[in-house]
Structure 1
Amino acid sequence: MTFRPRTAGLAVAAACSLALTACSAGSLGSSDEAAGSSSVTITYLAGNQEQDVKEAQQLIKDFSAKNSSITVKLETRPAGSEGDNIVKTRLSTGDMTDVFAYNTGSLFQAIAPQKNLVSISDQPYIGDLDDNFKKTVTAGDQVYGVPSGGFMGGAVLYNIPVYTKLGLKVPTTWAEFMANNAKIKASGVAPVIQTYGETWTSQLFVLGDFHNVAAAEPDFADKYTKNQAKYATSPAAIRGFEHTQEVHDAGYENKDFASAKLPDGLRMLAQGKGAHYPILSGVVNDMVDTYPNAAQDVGLFALPGDDASKNGLTVWTPGGVYIPTSTTGDKLEAAKKFLAFIASPDGCKSLATAGVPTGPYAVKGCDLPADVPKSIKDMQPYLDKEGGSSLALEFVSPVKGPSLEQITVEVGSGIRKAKDGAARYDDDVKKQAQQLGLAGW
């Protein structure tokens, strides 16, 4: 399934509370915009969650300060399937805004980019885009989008004071991780925080393990897409389900794992009541807002596999910003300038002004602010190292199923064994693959 984290502090923005609302340009446009033939106005469609709106407003403000002849107006759309349908409908009717923000990976492929989007492969900044990101916004041999924001890591957040007190080292293998858990449990701290009260959080041991799967079986994604590889029969892919079971069977979960929710997990981690929380780095901002000490007391490491030499991070790329083919003439040139700004160090600084990055940026020359939380900084070495990171499976294969989070809850609760859970998920994805008309299904 597509992993959509719902962080505790995100809410529908009051300024744009309708399903699809145009926010008044006001201060969002250039303060010295002059009416006349040299000026042009474009509209930008972004998500309506609070952080999405903050980032869009900041980008518009900073872009307009450098481009006085271009006014950018903001429209918003809801998240989830409702927002997906709005994007697809507006593209199909030629009624899309001049620029819009949307998903990367399999959902990007679903909007027929070669038909509906303007290629930006000829733009001078293309070489500055991270290769992992470019893969997720490429159709055929053309690139169509720029990144808005930073990567997210599917990783383990850990409490540094607990590690320091017990003299533990960051693990690079699953055996080392489980050995650390044994020492942590003996100290009276919950080794692994799980929050099955919000089922999406149960998936990390599977989805965050994909770097290890790709390292062991480089062609897994391709074979998986063609129905030639399965979770239940792949020695590497099934490990995520086995890890989920092993943590439960060893008694390493917090006692309230079945009912705890994301805010509970973040509190336990920040306060040292739990040592490890397998989760997306996108939750760090909310944790630090509520528990400022977590900025330095919580670190991050990649989900460990069986081979320390191949240890690396599974990453979710930032969303993309695109230009539809309905944008033409002066508006097209203005839209291209807006994308060039977003894909620049100035664009990254603008986004950082609007909120704490979820991870390193996907644009060369964009450095993380010095005051970002340690857990976010901990991601950078994985991305800098050759072979140190891999895209999550959903970015390299369209095959996904809706029931993974329910299955991982069952495996992590002792209701279902790992092999059975993996086989169940293999069955779950079949209908989705057939609906997509994929060969071999």
Structure 2
Amino acid sequence: MTDLSELPLITNSLESTSRLQLLVLSNGHGEDIIAVRILQELQRLSSPPDIFALPIVGEGRAYQELNVPRIGAVQTMPSGGFIYMDSRQFMRDVRGGLVQLTWKQIQAIRCWVNCQTKLGNKKAILAVGDIVPLLFAAISGANYAFVGTAKSEYYVRDQDGLLTRRSKSVRWENFSGSIYHPWERWLMSRRRCRGVFPRDSLTTEILKKSQIRAFDLGNPMMDGLEPMLTNSKFYSADTEQEEIVRPLIVTLLPGSRANEAYANWEMIMTAVSGLITGWQERDMVFLGAIAPGLDGDILSQTLQIQGWQRCPQSPIQLADPDYLTFKQKNNYVILTQKAYGDCLHLGDLAIAMAGTATEQFIGLGKPAIAIPGKGPQYNPAFAEAQSRLLGSSLILVEQPIKITQVVRSLLNNPDLFNEIAENGVQRMGQPGAAKRIAECLQARLG
């Protein structure tokens, strides 16, 4: 990782007294959350900037929770932000006003940069996401920095070299020697681009070869995942015996996009039923990490249709007074919308049909089994790309019924668990990236 002590310090007396005004651009719900984590750390610094935001995709509710003022127009598009995965979704967004919205947003950014400010104040932009906010920042006329969340060299290579791919069309991804295309690297290499923060060490190493000011400070996606209830445990008086006989804990990650998540949940519960039937060596507890925006009643109905009964007592304590427990024989399903960190940390493995949540679970050093859905987000193409990004930590199965065989293979191979633990941390990084990036931003943009 880059040593922050090596970064240039601000010594000019005028600069040390001026106040930075920072506009954050992000293009998606996940990107909004990553941006907010960095902003929280910026606000904790001794001389925090004045912060503004423009969420390019969606309404940016994460910024509202931080009381960050918003500039420009915002609008939720029909695709929900997944236009790059499906041309039909893109055309729906165009018909929904995407072009007009984009033009208004560019005008708002330029107006913010060029409007009069107090003497000595500086303006800068932090772009979080992909080429869209990066391009908006580059044409703004202000200094800018870029947090690249969408691309990683792991999509095309690992430490041993380029990945073997079947389709000739995939050469397009790496035709110039990097997952970032020449025009993207050109935007990152401009004099006004004061810092680039890739999501992993391998990507940073490749970008530095193009004379880009890239800093290997980690991935903010791994911040803020601490369990809320640190003493969560099974009811048992003998800890050693408990570990030997305790149920297997499986975290369930259906995604956060409403209609898609409900369909994903049905597939996941089919896998759960098959796992219970086909592998009875151990009781199991399934932790459903449910996004706050989903309707828990719909998920509960799916459980009850498949024979799960509401249960007043739970085998695990979670930091959520409203979690629901269901039982079938000696197995449990627990649904929670408030104890996300607990679900990630307690799970031995995951059945996943999600984007960010799957990556975070694997970043904790644990294996995930993925079932490609029908999209628009978690479709076969997305799942295949995610498996390249996450390597041996993510195991794809074509049908839910095949999960039983994979779980059996995993549990009979302790060496593979150790390999997966190392791989996950290597690809997703250590916690604390948001603070490191905030300190670097203050030095580079101040």
Q: Same fold (TM over 0.5)?
A: no
Q: Which has the higher contact order (CA 8 A, sep 6+)?
A: 1
TM-score (norm 2): 0.30
TM-score (norm 1): 0.30
Report the structure number with the largest CA radius of gyration. Answer: 2
